[in-house]
Amino acid sequence: MAENSVPLPGSIDLTRSRGYAPTVLERLHGWLVTVDHKRLGILYVTYGILFLLVGGAEAIAIRIQLAVPRNDFISAQVYNRFFTMHGTTMVFLVGMTIIFGFANYLVPLQIGARDMAFPRLNAFSFWLTAFGGLLLYYSFIGGSGLSGAGSAPDVGWFAYAPLTARAFSPGHSTDYWALALIVSGFGTLGTAINIVTTVLSMRCKGMTMMRLPLFTWLMLVDSGLTLITITPLTAAQIMLLIDRYLGGHFFDTQAGGSAVAWMHFFWIFGHPEVYVLVLPAFAIANEVIPVFSRKAIFGYPAMVAASVGIAFISLSVWAHHMFTVGMTSFSNAFFVLSTELVGIPTGIKIFNWLATIWGGKIRFATPMLFAIAFLFQFLIAGLTGIMLSIAPWNWQLHNSYFVIAHFHYVLVGAIVFCIFAGVYYWYPKVTGRMLNDTLGKWHFWLFLIGFHVTFDTMHFLGILGMPRSIYTYEPDRGWKTLNMITSAGGIIQGIAVLIFAFNLFWSYFHGEPAGDDPWDAWTLEWQTSSPPPVYNFAQDPVVRSRRPLWDLKHPEDPDWEYEG
């Protein structure tokens, strides 16, 4: 599609294979035993999107239940299970798998490597994560033991003590929850180690740290953050299992243990986790925004520094989830200030993206639409975040729908929008076909409208005092209309996601052939064919600037003459 034809001669092997077609069973076996980073990346993202549909269905059920007062679409017990499973699924089985899928697929390609640093560890990590997901969902069948009826975990995604103690959570559902997160946590740890090592040790010639594509840079920061974020959760889950199975007293207040300790341990994981999820969203925006604005990213070193800064600051903000627990005024002040500090590097990023778009020749293709929506929504998410970081304001609105609205603005408005941008952007590279643009526009506009109808409204519900995690409410509370609107938005989002899923499937067979570089982009993954051959590059690439493909396409005006 693009004028400048890549791959260049020599970058892929043109020798024809001997025309041997493997059987279906052989193909499946190939996917099962694969250690290829591209196939594992596809497995991660497919797995994540399947669970996106499952977690989305749970959200729809929650919203149908809340659409009208005193509804009994699902019982209180099922409601508790659904919001627990919705949260756990979306964070661990959707967010984490999709972002690591992107990293798996793209990082080796962007740094001109043959594969990840440890391909077998990579496969092992994926299957651990996949097994963790199955373990979590098996609780629907085995949560009360095989003889009893099934019950999924119902303790909320942050599973505060002492609700998780044996006395209050009998049966095995909470154990499935803890074990699933330990298992998938080890998978995540393996992947994080792999990505850090790949970026540091597998770069092609000339790919110095300050020439890394920003996507790769952010995935490096993200994986480094993951190393020290997911492990405290594993430690806390081990303590929980010791309490539940060996009669330990970590979170047993009757034996001197502390329920607040669990809160600290959980949020020491839980808050940096938000940044683990959002940094890859920034990473995708860093690739999409420059390519569709036809300009190099504005302020590359500042972007790198801001990302490292965000990761660093995010480690010291966790207790802003706990203002209502009752901390000393020193702790309150510390966590208010550290939380507000995050606004500085994040603000730098927003201004840099705006400066990249400014004066650019903007192409409003589907990936760019999602990226622009992300910019706008992430700004609002950040502003409500600053509101919530102020302790007195937090005391007023904690555990209300305002908080739900705020973090869904981050998780959906920023992260999911960027994931969609990334899928539309890289799908041609992965499959060799473009995603259908008409369906893509329908997906975008419906999802955008549905998103705002749902989550803008939720802010008002929160201010009107509607608490989170309630399965129904009285008709005279004044929440009726807004809840109906919120639920309607949820349905619109559901339809949009189904259109997206259909588009993924349909375009794989009927999409317009993409060519190797459909967006006229600048990073190394667009230099090889679409889909890339197993070996990625027949010759190891050599780079001299941050935009190696720009240099190839414009030898008269290469980037290295400008970069310091």
**β-strand partners of 400:** 467
Stretch that binds other proteins, among 6-14, 91-99, 355-363, 381-389 (CB under 8 A): 6-14
Given a contact cutoff of 8 angstroms between Cβ atoms, the answer to whether 6 and 516 are in contact is: yes
Closest Cα to residue 227, out of 273, 265, 279, 262? 273
Q: Which two tokens stand for residue 304?
A: 């790198």
Q: Contact with other proteins (CB under 8 A): which of 37, 81, 203, 429?
A: 203
Q: Does 532 bind other proteins (CB under 8 A)?
A: no
Nearest distance, CB of residue 107 and other proteins, angstroms = 14
Alpha-carbon gap, residue 378 to 9, rounded angstroms: 42
Closest CA to 1 of 363, 541, 357: 363
Contact 40, 98 (CB under 8 A): no
Q: What angle do CA 217, 300, 310 make, to 5 degrees?
A: 60
Annotate each residue in 225-264 with x if it binds other proteins (CB under 8 A) or - if it does not, as one string: --xxxxxx-xxx-xx--xx--xxxxx----xxxx--x---
Structure tokens at 213: 């594509």
Q: Please tell me whether residue 209 binds other proteins under the rule CB under 8 A.
A: no
Residue 282: its H or E element: helix 259-293
The residue whose two tokens read 């899923």 is 501
Question: Closest separation between CB of residue 545 and other proteins, Å?
Answer: 9
Nearer to other proteins, 229 or 389 (CB): 229
Give the pair of three-digit tokens for residue 73.
């679409």
Residue 521 touches other proteins, criterion: CB under 8 A = no
Query: Is residue 84 close enough to count as binding other proteins by CB under 8 A?
Result: no
Output 264 or 468, the one with its CB closest to other proteins. Answer: 264
Under rule CB under 8 A, residue 397 binds other proteins: no
- Cβ proximity to other proteins: between 7 and 494 the closer is 7
Residues in the interface with other proteins (CB under 8 A) total 54
Q: How far is the CB of 247 from other proteins (least distance, A)?
A: 3
The yes or no reply on residue 216 touching other proteins (CB under 8 A) is no
* DSSP output for 65-81: HHHSTT--SS-HHHHHH
Structure tokens that stand for 115 in this block: 């594969």
Tell me which residues in 87-126 interact with other proteins (CB under 8 A): 117-118
**Taking the alpha carbons of 121, 123, 124, 126 in that order, is the dihedral positive or negative?**
positive
Distances (CA, A) of 246 to 74, 85, 136, 178, 518: 35, 26, 22, 15, 58
In this complex, which beta carbon is closest to other proteins, that of residue 100 or of residue 409?
100
* 14 near other proteins, rule: CB under 8 A: no
Smallest gap from Cβ 169 to other proteins, in A, equals 18
- By CB under 8 A, residue 325 contacts other proteins: no
Does the footprint of other proteins cover residue 30 (CB under 8 A)?
A: no
Which is closer to other proteins, CB of 261 or CB of 387?
Answer: 261
Binding flag, residue 166, other proteins (CB under 8 A): no
- Closest to other proteins by CB, 40 vs 207, is 207
* Nearer to other proteins (CB atom), residue 232 or residue 413: 232
Residue 193 makes contact with other proteins by CB under 8 A: yes
Q: Cα separation of 187 and 131, whole Å?
A: 9
Out of 478, 542, 554, 557, the only residue in the binding site for other proteins (CB under 8 A) is 542
Helix, strand, or coil (residue 195):
helix
Both structure tokens of 414: 């920023």
Q: Return the range that interacts with other proteins (CB under 8 A); candidates 336-344, 357-365, 449-457, 544-552.
A: 544-552
Q: Which of 181, 174, 155 is nearest to 91 (CA)?
A: 181
Task: Give the residue with the Cβ less far from other proteins, 42 or 236.
Answer: 236
Cβ neighbors of 341 (< 8 A, separation 6 or more) are 313
* Shortest Cβ 95–other proteins spacing (Å): 19
Helix axes 417-431, 366-389, angle to 10 degrees: 150
Of 255 and 344, which CB lies nearer to other proteins in the complex structure?
A: 255
Looking at beta carbons only, is 233 or 397 nearer to other proteins?
233
Q: Closer to other proteins by CB, 163 or 228: give it.
A: 228
Minimum CB distance to other proteins, residue 251 (Å): 10
Half-sphere exposure of residue 122, counting CA atoms within 13 Å on the CB side? 29
Rounded to 10°, the helix 76-88/119-142 angle is 180
Our CB check for other proteins shows the closer of 172 and 547 to be 547
Q: Does 218 bind other proteins (CB under 8 A)?
A: no
DSSP-assigned letters across all residues of 355-374: HHHTT------HHHHHHHHH
Residue 238 Cβ, how far from other proteins at the closest point, in Å?
Answer: 8
Q: Considering only the stretches 54-62, 83-91, 149-157, 545-553, report the one whose residues sit in contact with other proteins under the rule CB under 8 A.
A: 545-553
Contacting other proteins (CB under 8 A), which of 174, 194, 356, 436? 194
Smaller CB separation from other proteins, 46 or 231: 231
What's the rounded Cα separation, in Å, for the pair 543 and 111? 9
Alpha-carbon gap, residue 137 to 309, rounded angstroms: 37
Closest approach, Cβ 132 to other proteins, in A, equals 17
Which x/- pattern, by CB under 8 A, does the window 259-288 give for other proteins?
--x---x--x--------------------
Among the listed residues 49, 184, 89, the one whose alpha carbon sits nearest the alpha carbon of residue 129: 184
59 lines the binding site for other proteins (CB under 8 A): no
- Cα–Cα distance for residue pair 82/84, rounded to 1 Å: 5
Question: How far is Cα 407 from Cα 170, in angstroms, rounded to an integer?
Answer: 30
Asked whether 428 and 518 are in contact (CB, 8 A), the reply is yes
Write out the residues near other proteins by the rule CB under 8 A. Answer: 8, 10-11, 117-118, 189, 192-194, 196-197, 200-203, 205-206, 224, 227-232, 234-236, 238-239, 242-243, 246-250, 255-258, 261, 265, 268, 539, 541-544, 548, 551-552, 555, 558, 560
